[in-house]
A and B are shown apart, each in its own frame.
Chain A
Amino acid sequence: MAEVKTYREALREALVGELDRDENVVLIGEDIGVYGGTHLITDGLYDRYGQHRVIDTPISEGGFVGAAIGMAMTGLRPVVEVMTWNFSFLAADQIIQNAAKVRYFSGGQVKVPLVIRGPNGGGVQLSAQHTHSLESFYGHFPGLKVVAPVTPDDAKGMMLTAIRDDNCVIFLEAGALYGTKGEVTEGDNAVPFGQARIAREGGDVTLVSYGRQVALCLTAAERLAEDGIEAEVIDLRSLRPLDEETVVASVRKTHRAVAVQEQWRWFGVASEVAAIIQDRAFDDLDAPVERVSGAEVPAPYARNLEIAAFPNADQVVTAARRVLYRKEG
């Protein structure tokens, strides 16, 4: 059974499901209660669960993320909303120094079952300071799990898994896609971490991405199909742990890969994907792995510049043609 819902509704459905299922689950963040959340993810939940389970906080990321870590250490399962991931820099010390490390420091005695969630990436004209894709930043630290679902179904399924996980999960939502719709499985559709999704099957070239760029790859794949090139599109969705097997199996089939990310090229997820491919599928490669990334500038505000600074389908098509040694059609 599946019903068409927005990404936002799918997230809310997961939160409601877990709030109902487990009384230790609490929500905490700025304006998530009375106001209903800046992005309306938690709209109506304050009225339904009350101030002890849907907690409004002062504007103090270091404070409320730290508090949530303490709550998690002592038995609750908090879900923290950062209004956007850009503000998490203020809480980075808590996240990296405490959330990621307490379980190790305590020899496994103290767990930190914590979800930190919020919109990641850009595309909605919020300018440089409010436009970051932080997957490689958080993905760098052992002790954190990092996921980035793009479909409403995965948003719900991965949120269920995140809340049930005994580790700190960095939950990167596709902020620009809160209003997009898709079929969402009824009931418990928990999606295990570390399993990529094949968004489109094809045998000629593998396009690897996650989050909002998956849509871009699907558009590019349709365009390539017009020229008889069948692209396989892989939605990583879970970045740490990362499903190497699915990527490698696909490249063994296609012999070519393009990794696409919204973030900057240097030290990005696409570089990691390229490294995994050359490491595990070297003898199957017919061309160097291409990376398509954002322009190496702080995100511009002007709409035309913002569009120019993010990867587009043309670039993915061009890169795919290059790894196929085919000229522009």
Chain B
Amino acid sequence: MPEVIMPKMGDAMEAGTLASWLKHEGDQVEVGDALAEIETDKATMELEAEDAGVLTRLVAGEGDEVAVGETIAVISADGEAPDAAPDKAREVAEETADSAGGRETAETETAETETAETETAETTAESGEQGASTREDEGRQAATSGPERSGDGRVRASPVVRRLAQEHSIELAGISGSGPGGRIVERDVRAALESTEKGAPEPSAQPSGATGTELSPLSRTQRVVGERMQQAWQAPHHYATVEVHVDELLALRGRLNEALAEGSEDDSGADGPVRLSINDFVMKACALALRTFPKLNSWRTADGIELHQQVDLAMAVALEDGLITPVIRNAAERTLSAISTEARELAARARSGKLRPDEYQGGTFTVSNMGMYGVESFTAIINPPSVSIVAVSAVGRRPDFDATGAVVPRSVLKLTVGSDHRVVNGAENARYLAEVKRLLEHPLLLTV
């Protein structure tokens, strides 16, 4: 009788919320049918059936938080006796016993039990063969990496962590665990305590409850984003801003978009023609420049600074109650049109909450654009473990002096790079930005 379990949809996922059932108890389901919507930290995904049959039992209810690996429903193969309720199972057993003339069922059961015991004994014997601790640990790690603890949405944490959390009245749900299987270990809770002491992320104010106010509890996303933002804010940031002259870029973009639209007129594809945005150019330039300044394309980890060769570019997308950063993989090697298409597609799915965790995790560098709101200039907070972020403002038009001193109209765009000063020093930050500016001011370089 196949069980439907809460799948692990991302490395850091420990539990998911069953947002809604898309099938009902008793429904016939085929492999690939969407059974339910699962909500994780940041996204909502459909859970598809891996077995065909009758959905005999919905174990989890809508709104339940379920640990990864725990059963959320049971599917019976066609004709298979459902084990829905114990008394029903007994009925089936009795019927079988009657038809088989009494004892046989019981005997079969006993035989099966014996087999199971023999297997256990063999397993034990095998374990007994294992010698030194190294091999024992492999066994154990294998055991912990699979689904283990009991359901009820328990956060995986070591005992001392639970004690400390209770003593300091802190929520474990907001702390990410660095131990095996995402276990929250002492150092994680100590770090959280430290940041609580420093930054006091838990508001101490009590709601007024006055008329004309409305209180909404923190959503899971708000809690997680808030916690991560608080952690990110602890990093000492260094900022630098440049003004990029974008007249040439705007002209090139206009010509390219015109040509792309023409080229796709016969193409009746549903996606429509590629239409390059200014941000696509900026993202491409940021990614390309990272080849020369790999330090800004790194992760600050527990064991040191990890430089990444490939640029996995995260782009900030605003959500109703937070922020998400879908990732364009290998952006430095991709064409402008490829970046453009993927960015548009990721942003759309991000807004509808349909991103898979592997689509918004693992970025090595981030670009955040507020140009569409007419923002002149702003600074952004880095997105750990990556160490740098570029903030993109709106294109403005103003008078400027040309090389001869004559006043000319100029289109300009301000970029501000923010970096973790523990990893990237100010001069590197500035030189990187100069390279991004150079690329954007010679936009043909972005097409070769």
Contacts and interface: CB of A to CB of B under 8 A. Distances in A.
14 contacts: A255-B160, A266-B128, A286-B185, A287-B158, A293-B133, A296-B128, A297-B131, A308-B132, A309-B131, A315-B133, A318-B134, A325-B179, A325-B180, A325-B185
Interface string A238-274: 0000000000000000010000000001100000000
B160 A284 contact: yes
B14 interface: no
Interface in B157-171: 158-163
A287 B179 contact: yes
Interface string B189-215: 000000000000000000000000000
B397 interface: no
Contacts of B186: 255, 286
Contact of B185 (A283, A287, A291, A297): A287
Contacts of A327: 303
A322 B137 contact: yes
A199 interface: no
A286 B131 contact: no
Contact of B187 (A285, A294, A325): A325
A319 interface: yes
A295 B129 CA distance: 8
Top 7 A-B pairs ranked by shortest CB distance? A295-B131, A286-B186, A283-B163, A286-B158, A286-B160, A292-B133, A285-B159
A179 B128 CA distance: 34
B267 interface: no
Nearest to B131: A295
Contacts of B179: 287, 325
Interface of B: 128-134, 136-137, 140, 158-163, 178-180, 185-187, 303
Contacts of A296: 128-131
Interface string A288-329: 101111111100000000001101000100110010010100
Contacts of A285: 158-160
Contacts of A282: 159
Contact of A283 (B130, B137, B140, B159): B159
Contacts of B163: 283-284
Nearest to A296: B131
A71 B359 CA distance: 80
Contacts of B134: 315, 318
Contacts of A318: 133-134
Contacts of B161: 286
Contacts of B187: 325
A6 to B, nearest CB: 31
B266 to A, nearest CB: 57
Contact of B133 (A266, A290, A325): A290
Contact of A325 (B130, B132, B159, B178): B178
B79 to A, nearest CB: 44
Contacts, number: 60
Contacts of A293: 132-133
Contacts of B162: 283
B349 to A, nearest CB: 35
Contacts of A309: 131
Contacts of B136: 265, 291
Contacts of A319: 133, 137
A41 B179 CA distance: 50
Contacts of B131: 294-297, 309
B133 A291 contact: yes
Nearest to A329: B303
A322 B178 CA distance: 12
Nearest to A316: B133
A293 B394 CA distance: 66
Nearest to A284: B160
Nearest to A265: B136
Contacts of A255: 160, 186
A325 B186 CA distance: 10
Given A283-B159, A283-B160, A287-B158, A315 B132 contact: yes
A283 B164 CA distance: 9
Nearest to B124: A266
A222 to B, nearest CB: 19
Contacts of B159: 282-286
A274 to B, nearest CB: 12
A290 B134 CA distance: 11
Contacts of A294: 131-132
B106 to A, nearest CB: 35
A6 B185 CA distance: 45
Contacts of A292: 132-133
A287 B140 CA distance: 13
A191 B186 CA distance: 37
A127 to B, nearest CB: 17
Q: B130, B160, B187 — which one has the most chain A CB atoms within 10 A of its CB? A: B160
Contacts of A311: 132-133
Given A291-B136, A296-B130, 5 more contacts: A255-B160, A282-B159, A285-B160, A292-B133, A311-B133
A85 to B, nearest CB: 22
Q: A285, A288, A325 — which one has the most chain B CB atoms within 10 A of its CB? A: A325
B140 to A, nearest CB: 8
A322 B144 CA distance: 14
